[in-house]
Amino acid sequence: MNNRQIEVGAKARELARKAEKYRLQKCYDKALIEFSQAIDIEPDYSWAIAHRGEVYRQMKCYEKALVDFNRAIASPAKLYGKITR
């Protein structure tokens, strides 16, 4: 892993943590923006994908939630561990 990859991963984690705070405050629109930005940076970031799915579920957007949940499950497991550490 090079410095660029580390920086990109750190930025994605920062955005996802911010999004999770919004989700817990029920600021779902803001959470979606932050989770989506994190996923744009790290397309296989399964934690962010799953939590964005949870935001969609809480908003009763069940089809979008299901898409994200399935995508999170299909993401490489080893990447999930690397990003969340």
Residues 40-52 have pLDDT tens digits of: 999 999 999 999 9
Residue 9 is predicted with a pLDDT of 86
Mean pLDDT of 64-78: 88
Domain count, the chain: 1
* Higher-scoring residue by pLDDT: 39, 82: 39
CATH number, domain of 26, equals 1.25.40.10
Report whether 56 contacts 68 (CB < 8 A): yes
CA gap 26, 46 in Å, rounded: 21
| Domain enclosing residue 68, as ranges | 3-84
pLDDT tier, 77 (very low <50, low <70, confident <90, very high otherwise): low
* Higher-scoring residue by pLDDT: 80, 50: 50
- List C-alpha distances in Å: 43 to 24, 26, 39, 60: 23, 24, 5, 24
Rounded to two decimals, what is the model's pTM? 0.83
